[in-house]
Amino acid sequence: MNKKELQHLSWRAGFGMNPSELKLLQKGKNEIVEVLISNSKSITPLRVDLSFLNGLNPIDLKDNPTLAKELRDKNREKILELNYAWIKRLVTSKEVLRERMTLFWANHFVCKDNHILYIQRYNNALRTHALGDFRDFVKAISKEAAMLKYLNGKQNRKNRPNENFARELMELFTLGEGQYTEKDIKESARAFTGYNHDFKGNFILRKRQHDEGLKTFFGKTGNFSGDDIIDIILEDKQCALYISDKIYRYFVNPKPNKKHIDAMADVFFKDYNIENLMRFVFLSDWFYDEKNIGARIKSPVEFLVGMAKTVPVKFERERDLIKIQKILGQTLLDPPNVAGWKGDKAWIDANTIMVRLKLASIIFNNAVISLKEHGDFNDNFREKFFKRNKDKLPFKTLPDWEAFMDNFKLVETENLQDYIIQGNINKGTADYLKSLSKKSKQDYCIQLMSLPEYQMC
């Protein structure tokens, strides 16, 4: 493995690398990948202080509307706090592959909730199962309080089945569109009847609401439970193909390669072990093909986290982190719908590309940016935000340039692009870089992060 390939692995399995990690090149590819996986064996839950919930019960809220409103306000505040904590975790965690996989699964098993306890539990369920057994993963997700609320699982009862979760389980979570019938949806919904949770988010099966009758699903008949339905779904190799395809598009290249995806599905279908699948991907020669390096547009979160890993930065107002996420079009814990963010080319439009190209200057150089000439933003939040701020984006930050200089002290300024930019630099950009002053490593870093090529990984 050479430096370019290691950097590629670092960006796909994590959020970039600094020069100190080049010592890994003394090891072979197999050993490097095993180090990556070994570092993510442990599971560190992400938590914020939830002591405000201590001693509360549903009766308190029912009889006290003032308390209920205070609780809603506190929940909103704590969900923002969890967002900040998640961003910080992505920047600093040594369990880098587990955190990268958690981010991936958050846009696969999409869920949203306004109760901090339930959404925190859900986020940690993603983290716990991120590299584990996919079968256990799907079963756990089906019983999470946040998902039961989000896809109406609590309303799914014996005499009035709700089909929302059953439909999305197959269409979005396991098989993809067109791989099941309406009858399969109806019959599987019956198997998930009675699913519920208590006030603390613990799963409960309400037996009186559960349909104990025979169900016919995918040609099989029995008194199936929800777990049985998931087992039957995973017997179909289409599930392994569907998940392999999504992982390929996210970790390898947005343009699918059937041969490589089929090979991934062969590995995954054996035991549905996610760690084994990722190991296969990262050890495959095709993963490091030139056409796959720098082929993905960074998501807003990847973009932000990657910059912060290169130059550590602290926001004086943490809410600015939320503002940036909203402006760029991806706010953690707030997906647009059950299908999640589309990704790839959908991340970039006339508005977001302009902000992206200026963001390094804003964050690391206390710059502001005028947006008037680019017209109205489609998103209401953006319109209101820029109107309030007179078309400028000012953020108060404390970049740690000393840490950056220490990390890159052995890198000549003119070679900085080899660490900052992924993929090939086109001739026009290369000529532009030659014209820039290299006197300040700090300024040159900001200029590199302001290039169109920096949008890619």
pLDDT in tens, 293-313: 999 999 999 999 999 999 999
pLDDT above 90 (res 384): no
Q: Distance from CA of residue 152 to its chain's centroid? A: 23
pLDDT tens, residue by residue, 27-75: 999 999 999 999 999 999 999 999 999 999 888 888 898 999 999 999 9
Separation CA 164–CA 172 (nearest Å): 11
pLDDT tens, residue by residue, 399-409: 999 999 999 99
Cα separations in angstroms, 237 against 209, 251, 277, 298, 379 = 32, 21, 14, 30, 40
Give the pLDDT of residue 368.
Answer: 47
Average pLDDT, the chain: 93
Separation CA 159–CA 213 (nearest Å): 12
Arithmetic mean of pLDDT, 432-442:
94
pLDDT tens, residue by residue, 109-160: 999 999 999 999 999 999 999 999 999 999 999 999 999 999 999 999 999 9
pLDDT above 80 (res 366): no
In the chain, the largest separation of any two C-alpha atoms, in whole Å, equals 76
Instruction: For residue 365, name the pLDDT band (cuts at 50, 70, 90).
Output: confident
In this structure, are residues 326 and 332 in contact, taking their beta carbons and an 8 Å threshold?
Answer: no
Separation CA 101–CA 106 (nearest Å): 8
pTM metric for this prediction: 0.94
Indicate the domain borders of the chain: 3-38+236-292, 39-131, 300-455
pLDDT above 70 (res 370): no
Arithmetic mean of pLDDT, 7-16:
96
Cα separations in angstroms, 12 against 40, 98, 112, 296, 345 = 15, 12, 26, 9, 17
| Range with top average pLDDT, 35-39, 375-379, 421-425 | 35-39
CA angle, corner 378, sides to 373 and 382, nearest 5? 75
pLDDT above 70 (res 434): yes
Give the pLDDT of residue 329.
Answer: 96
In this structure, are residues 293 and 423 in contact, taking their beta carbons and an 8 Å threshold?
Answer: yes
Q: Which residue has the higher pLDDT, 24 or 220?
A: 220
Give the pLDDT of residue 394.
Answer: 67
Dihedral through CA 247, CA 248, CA 254, CA 260, nearest 10? -160
Instruction: For residue 423, name the pLDDT band (cuts at 50, 70, 90).
Output: confident
Task: Give the position of tokens 């982190």.
Answer: 321
Give the pLDDT of residue 383.
Answer: 54
Give the pLDDT of residue 63.
Answer: 83
Give the pLDDT of residue 57.
Answer: 86
pLDDT above 50 (res 435): yes
Instruction: For residue 380, name the pLDDT band (cuts at 50, 70, 90).
Output: low
In this structure, are residues 90 and 123 in contact, taking their beta carbons and an 8 Å threshold?
Answer: no
First CA to last CA distance, the chain = 18
pLDDT above 60 (res 381): no
Arithmetic mean of pLDDT, 222-242:
98
pLDDT tens, residue by residue, 318-336: 999 999 999 999 999 999 9
